[in-house]
Structure 1
Amino acid sequence: MGLFDNAVPGGNITKPLMIALGALLVGKMLSGRSEEQPAEPQAPVPTPAGTGTSADGGLLGGLGGLLDKLKDAGHGGVADSWVGTGQNQPINANDLGAAIGPQVIREIAQRTGLNEQELLQQLSVALPGIVDKLTPNGQIPQNHQVASAFNG
C-alpha cells in the first residue's frame, strides 16, 4: 500500500481495516465497493442522520475530526503524540470506542463485517501508525490529501 507500509505492527493492513480507516478518515469507502469495481458517478452515499458525516471527510469529519473527538474525550495527549514527531502513545480499544462513539463504531462494523470489539482492537493498534504516517511534519493534511493517500 506504499504510504501505509510498516504503519501497523507486522505491516499487515487487512481490507476490512482499510475500509474502517477509510470510513473514519475519508468517507469515500463507506459504500463498501471493492477497488476492482469502477466508481459510478452518482450522489454521495446516504448516511444515517446524526452521524456527523461530511461528504468527503469520513464519519467524523476526516482526520481532524477524529483527532478532535479524541481530544474531547480526554485523549488529546495521545492524539498529539500521533501527529507529533516523537513516540506514538497507544490507546486502549475501549477508550477509542468511547471517543468515536457507539453509533459510528456500529456503522463501521456493519460496513467491514467485523464485530465491534475486533474492529476497535484493530483500530487501536493501527491508528497511531496511520495518523503518524499521514502527518509526517506534524501537520494535519487536508481531507483530499488523506483521500489521495488511500487511493495511492
Structure 2
Amino acid sequence: MGLFDNAVPGGNVAKPLMIALGALLVGKMLSGGSSAQTDPAQSTAPVPPDTTASADGGLLGGLGGLLDKLKDAGHGNAADSWVGTGQNQPIQANDLGNALGPQVIREIAQRTGLNEQDLLKQLSAALPGLVDQMTPNGQVPQQNQLASILNRFTS
C-alpha cells in the first residue's frame, strides 16, 4: 500500500504501530480514531515540560521535533541519513528510547496497548524507512503535508 510497503520491514504496519507513529508525528490524528481514542488532556501521564506537544504536531512537535530529539541525543547521523537520499542508518531500540525519553514512551505505550520494549523495537525498525519515504529529496514536509501523507495510508 504505497508508503509502508517499502518503508517498513515486511511491509505490514499494524494498527498499534500506526497509532504510535501518529502520536509521535501528527498528534491527535492517529491517537485512536475510535471510541478507544485517548484524549491527551485526560491522559494519566502528563506531557513532560521539555516536550513540544501541540494539537496537531505530535508529542514532540512533529517530524522536525522527532529529528531534533534524535540529534540532541547524539543520533544526528542516523536521523540525517533517514532524511537524506543515501542509505538509512539503523537505530537501536534502547537508543531510540533514550532519545524520546521515558515519559513519551510511556504515553505512546498507553495509547497503543504495547509494552514499552515491543513499542521501541517496532519503532526502531519502522522509523528509518518511514522518515525516508516521508522526506522526498531530503526535505522535511510541513506539518499539514505530513498529516496528509500519513492520512492517505491509514484510511
Q: What TM-score do the two structures reach when normalised by structure 2? A: 0.87
Name the residue aligned to 1:94: 94
- Take 1:104 and 1:45, find their aligned partners in 2: how far apart are those partners? 12
- Take 2:72 and 2:96, find their aligned partners in 1: how far apart are those partners? 12
User: Shift in Å at residue 29 of structure 1?
Assistant: 3.7
Name the residue aligned to 2:117: 117
Which structure 1 residue ranges, 4+ long, deviate > 6 Å from structure 2? Answer: none
> Is 1:137 aligned to 2:132, yes or no?
no
Within-5 A mapping of 1:13-24: 13-24=13-24
| Structure 2 gap segments, 5+ residues each | none
Name the residue aligned to 2:128: 128
More helix by share: 2
- Take 2:30 and 2:132, find their aligned partners in 1: how far apart are those partners? 23
- Take 1:45 and 1:110, find their aligned partners in 2: how far apart are those partners? 11
Within-5 A mapping of 1:71-90: 71-90=71-90
| Structure 1 gap segments, 5+ residues each | none
- Take 1:45 and 1:116, find their aligned partners in 2: how far apart are those partners? 18
Q: Residue 85 of structure 1 contacts residue 138 of structure 1 at CA under 8 Å; is this kept in 2?
A: yes
Deviations 1:41-71 (A, max 9, x none): xxx8426342431111100000000000000
Within-5 A mapping of 1:53-68: 53-68=53-68
- Take 1:30 and 1:12, find their aligned partners in 2: how far apart are those partners? 17
- Take 2:69 and 2:121, find their aligned partners in 1: how far apart are those partners? 18
Deviations 1:107-140 (A, max 9, x none): 0000000000000000000000000000011011
- Take 1:119 and 1:49, find their aligned partners in 2: how far apart are those partners? 18
Letter in 1 for 2:120: L
- Take 1:150 and 1:70, find their aligned partners in 2: how far apart are those partners? 21
Deviations 1:84-108 (A, max 9, x none): 0000000000000000010000000
Percent of matched pairs sharing the same residue: 79
> Is 1:146 aligned to 2:143, yes or no?
no
